[in-house]
Amino acid sequence: MNAQNTPDIIYTKVDEAPELASASLLPIIQKFAGAAGVTVGTRDISLAGRIIAAFPEVLTEEQRQNDDLAELGELVKTPQANVIKLPNISASVPQLVEAIKELQSQGYALPDYPEAPASDAEKDARARYDAIKGSAVNPVLREGNSDRRAAIAVKKFAQANPHSMGDWSRDSKTRVASMSGGDFRSNEVSATLDGEATAKIVLTAADGTETVLKEGIAYPAGTVVDATYMSAKALDAFLAEEIEKTKQEGVLFSLHMKATMMKVSDPIIFGHGVKQFLAPVFEQFGGELDALGVNPNFGIADLLDRVKDKPEILEAIDQVMADRPPMYMVDSDRGITNLHVPSDVIIDASMPALIRAGGKGWGPDGKEADTNCIIPDDSYAPVYDETIKFFKENGKLDPATAGTVQNIGLMAQKAQEYGSHPTTFEIPADGVVRMILDDGTVLHQHNVEEGDIWRSASARKAAIEDWVNLAIDRQAAEGCEAIFWLDATRAHDAQLIAYLKPILEARGVAEKFTILAPREATRRTLETITGGKNSIAISGNVLRDYLTDLFPILELATSAKMLSIVKLMKGGCMFETGAGGSAPKHVQQLMEENHLRWDSLGEFCALGESFKFLGDARGNPKAHVLGVAVEAATQGILDHGRSPGRKLGLPDNRDSHYWFARYWAEALAAQSEDADLAAQFAPIAQALADNEETIVGEFAAARGKPVDLGGYYHTDNGKTAAVMRSSQTLNGIVG
C-alpha cells in the first residue's frame, strides 16, 4: 500500500441501511473535513464489492474492483490507520446466493455458488465464495482489541429519556435450554505452545484411511490453541427433547444461533434444528428432498421454494408444523419463522430483544408469548439463562437509574474466531481427529463420529497481553468494578487466566480485578448496574459480541449507539459504529415508502473520535477542533430529539443528517481555538439555519412513495444518491 495515496480517514463502504445512510452523510463529512485539510476516502468491504473483487478474470475492465479488504488488512498493521468501520453483512449462504444472483442480473458474469462442487472450476469458485461468507471482514481488520462503551452523552440521554421495557413476572415460563454434554463446552481441550509451531489437522477413519483436513497452520510461541467438537447425535437428541418439552410447556420454540459470524459451525447446527423440527418430513421424503437439492442448513424458506411443486410434501410439512409447538416468529404477518433463514435470528441481537420485552417473543398468531430459547452449546448460554433468572426474581431493569457496562474484548489477530476459521469441519466419517505439530507431537485429539462438528481456534500471546493491559488502563481511567469473564473450569479460559494473573500482579493491580465464570459474572454485573453503579466486562471475542449487544440494548434500547474503539496494536485506530442487525427491515421500509429510520448516532460518535485521534496522532490541531465540534453536534442531536423516527411522517435519517451538519457548523463557528475554521463555517451555519424550512420541506415532499435503488446488495450510486440526497438546497450548501 502506498501511504501517500491513503486518505487521512477511511470510511468503509458497506451494505444495507448503514450504506444508504452514508450516501447522505459522507458528502457532509467530506465537506467539513476538507476545511481542515483532512481527506476522507472510502474502501469497499460490502458483500457485493468483495464478490466482485474475487473474480476479476470473468469481468469487464469497467466492472472490476480492487480488493479493498486486503488493502485495509495491510493498513491496519501500520501506525497510519484511521478507519471508520460501519457494520457490514456477515453473509449466510442464502444471502451470498442472493447477492450473486443480483450481480448476475446486472451483467456480472459471475459463476453460480456451487453447492456440490465437482469440477476444478467449481471447487475454485466454491473456495473463493467460502472466503467471502460469514465473518470474513472482521478477522482481517481487527488487528487490535476492542474498547466498547456508551458515550457519556448517550448514556445521560438514555437515563433522562428512558426507553420502554417489558414487565417480567416470577411465573414466566421463558427459559434457556442448552446441552448438558456432548457440546463444544464439555469437549474442549486447550494448550499453550512453548515455541513457534506449524500444525496439521488429520482425520484417521475407522478403516485406517487418513485425510488431512488442514495443514500449514502456523502459530507463534505462546499461542493458546483449542480444539473441541459437538456430537451430532447428542445435538439431535437434545433438539428432539426440547421440541417435545416446548410443546408440553405451551410456549414458543426458538433457536438462537450466529450463523453469520460462525459461518461453518452454526449453519450446520441451524440445519440440525430445521431437520429435527421437520423430522417426519425428512424421514418420509428424504430421498426426494435430496434429489431436489434441499439443504436444511439453508432454512425452511429454501426448502419451501424447492418443494413448491410437490403438494404431498407441502401437505406433510403443514401437518408437522401443526403438530409442533408454535414457533418464535421473525415476521408473523408474512409467516416467516425462526427457522426460515439462518441469518434472520442472530443470538446477540435476538436474545437481548426478547429479554428487554419481558421474555416475550412473537408467535404465529401475532401475539406475544413466553419462549423456550434454544442455545445448544453451553459455553455462553449461562449468560442469558442467568439474566432471565435475575429479572424473574427482581423485575425489569430501570434505564433511568441503571449504571453502565463497558467492555474490553479480546479479538486481535483473529483471537477466538470460533466456528468461522478454516479450522472447523463437519466430520465425514467415524474416526479420530488429531492436531499434530510439525515435530510429530499430537497436541489435541478427539474420537468423533460422522456428522460431528469439530473446530479449533487460537489466541496469540501478543493479543492476550495487549488485552490485559488495555483492561488495566480502562479500569484505571474509570475506577469502577472490573471483571474478567473467565471460567477456571473451562480449558481455554484456564490458559488465559494463567496469562493474566502474572500481568496483574506485576503491575500491582491484582486487587482491582475479579475473575468470575460467565454465569456468576452476569449476576454480579446485573446487581451492580441495578444499583446505579458501573462495571467493566473483560471478555473473549464471542462473549464480547454478546455482551456489547445485551447490556446496551437493556441500557439504551440499541447497541448502535456505542463507542467502539479498536486500538490497533501497531499504533493506528479503527472506530466501529455499532450493530447492523435491524438493517434489512430498514431497507425494506425505505424501498416501500422512502423512510429510513437508521440512526447514525454510532457514526457520529465514531467520527468525533476519529478526528480527535487524527489531530493527536498527526499533530493536526484543526482535525482535533473538528472532532470536538462533532461531539457538540452529537449532543445537540440528543438534546433536541433530532434522531430519526420509526414511522413515515416523522423525521428520518436524512433530517437527522441536516441537523447534525447544522449543529456541527454552529459549533465550529462558535469555537475560539481556530479563527480560520470559525470564519469558514459561520456562513455555512447561517445558511443551514436560514433554509431550515425549505430543507425539511424538500425531505418531506420526497417521502411516502416506493423508491428504486437499482438493487439491494449492489445499489446504483446515482439512484441511491438521488433518494438519499433529496434536498437540493442542502446539497448546495454542503456540496
Model confidence over 284-322: pLDDT tens digits?
999 999 999 999 999 999 999 999 999 999 999 999 999
DSSP symbol at 57: G
pLDDT in tens, 364-373: 999 999 999 9
Asked if pLDDT for residue 559 goes beyond 90, the answer is: no
| Dihedral (CA of 697, 701, 702, 704) sign | positive
pLDDT in tens, 649-697: 999 999 999 999 999 999 999 999 999 999 999 999 999 999 999 999 9
Most distant CA pair in the chain: distance in Å?
81
Q: Which amino acid is at 241?
A: E
pLDDT bracket for residue 562 (50, 70, 90): confident
Cβ atoms of residues 384 and 351 within 8 Å: yes
Number of H helices, E strands in the chain: 27, 24
Mention every residue, 6+ apart, whose C-beta is less than 8 A from residue 213. Answer: 201, 202, 203, 425, 433
Alpha helices in 337-424 (DSSP H): 347-356, 381-394
Q: Which amino acid is at 399?
A: P
Q: What is the pLDDT of residue 3?
A: 52
The mean pLDDT value for 458-471 works out to 97
Mean pLDDT of the chain: 95
Cβ atoms of residues 536 and 480 within 8 Å: yes
pLDDT in tens, 118-143: 999 999 999 999 999 877 888 889 89
- First-to-last alpha carbon distance for the chain, in angstroms, is 30
pLDDT in tens, 170-208: 999 999 999 999 999 999 999 999 999 999 999 999 999
Cβ atoms of residues 347 and 258 within 8 Å: yes
Q: Which amino acid is at 240?
A: A
Phi-psi region of 652 (alpha: psi -120 to 50; beta: other; left: phi over 0): beta
DSSP symbol at 346: B
Which residue in the block uniquely carries the three cell numbers 446539497?
Answer: 731
Q: What is the dihedral of CA 590, 595, 596, 601, to 10 degrees?
A: 180
d(CA 16, CA 711): 10
Nearest by Cα to 692 from 723, 724, 730: 730
Mention every residue, 6+ apart, whose C-beta is less than 8 A from residue 702. Answer: 594, 723, 726
Find how far residue 441's CA is from the centre of its chain. 37
Backbone angles phi, psi at 641, to 5 degrees: 65, 45
